[in-house]
Amino acid sequence: MRLKAIGGLLFLLLAVPDTAAAQQQCRLPDRLTVLPCPNLGREEARGQKSDFDHYILSFSWSPVFCAGPAGKRATLQCRDNRFGWIVHGLWPQYATRRAGQLWPQYCGPVQPVPEPVLRRHLCNSPDPRLMQCEWAKHGSCSDFATPDAYFTAQAGVASRLTLPAPQPGQSVQAFTAAVLAANDASHGHDRLERRHLRVIGGPDGIRELRLCLERDLVRYRAC
């Protein structure tokens, strides 16, 4: 994901036109507390590392999240900063259900994501707790040996995309068409098609976009 440092601030430039990008702001705190994912041991562990078929890269529309109950607790994301699309996570997936499940999770013990890695990637996924849990739940099952490699890989995929801002009252179908129009050139990669995307909306508008990828994170695949 493209980031630009201006006067000590990091501004998120992915996902919105240039005029809107200037309004987005990512100011990192002086110190970050490094704690393990609080969900460890509370959710089922299943699967083995690197035993999966493809990835989903999930994006979240921050204004909708921040307007909900969970957003009131997300100080860094929703009170101290302004974001458009953020990266939710990079999720290993099964092509077909295995023991009734579509994905592996918590595939082995991991160390907490170190502060320098959190700081380096926090403007892509602006919640230390989210990053810790994504690494523990999904990164532990991925092809990546370290959290830095995992978060760098998802940022690299995100940097290839232009994601427009959802418009008030916009349907899933209309927003999907807007995404395809904004990414109508292949740029050396597969051309993005409707079958590669899954857009999730609700009464409060478009809130999530999922991109389906092969394990090489270069080729798109049908969702």
pLDDT in tens, 108-157: 999 999 999 999 999 999 999 999 999 999 999 999 999 999 999 999 99
Catalytic positions: 88, 134, 138
Q: pLDDT at residue 188 above 80? A: no
For position 136, what pLDDT does the model report? Answer: 98
**67 exposed, middle or buried (CB, 10 Å; 0-12, 13-18, 19+)?**
middle
Cα angle 166-171-176, degrees, rounded to a multiple of 5: 65
Q: How many domains does the chain have?
A: 1
Higher pLDDT, 133 or 3: 133
Contact 144, 91 (CB under 8 A): no
Q: Is residue 218 part of a domain?
A: no
Query: In this structure, is residue 30 part of a structural domain?
Result: yes
Q: Containing domain of residue 157, as a range?
A: 3-213
pTM, 2 dp: 0.86
* Domain of residue 137, CATH code: 3.90.730.10
Digit-coded pLDDT (tens) for 20-78? 433 578 998 888 889 999 999 899 999 999 999 999 999 999 999 999 888 888 889 99
Domain-embedded: residue 221:
no
Q: From CA 179, how far away is CA 176, in angstroms rounded?
A: 5
Mean pLDDT in the chain?
88
| Cα–Cα distance for residue pair 27/42, rounded to 1 Å | 32
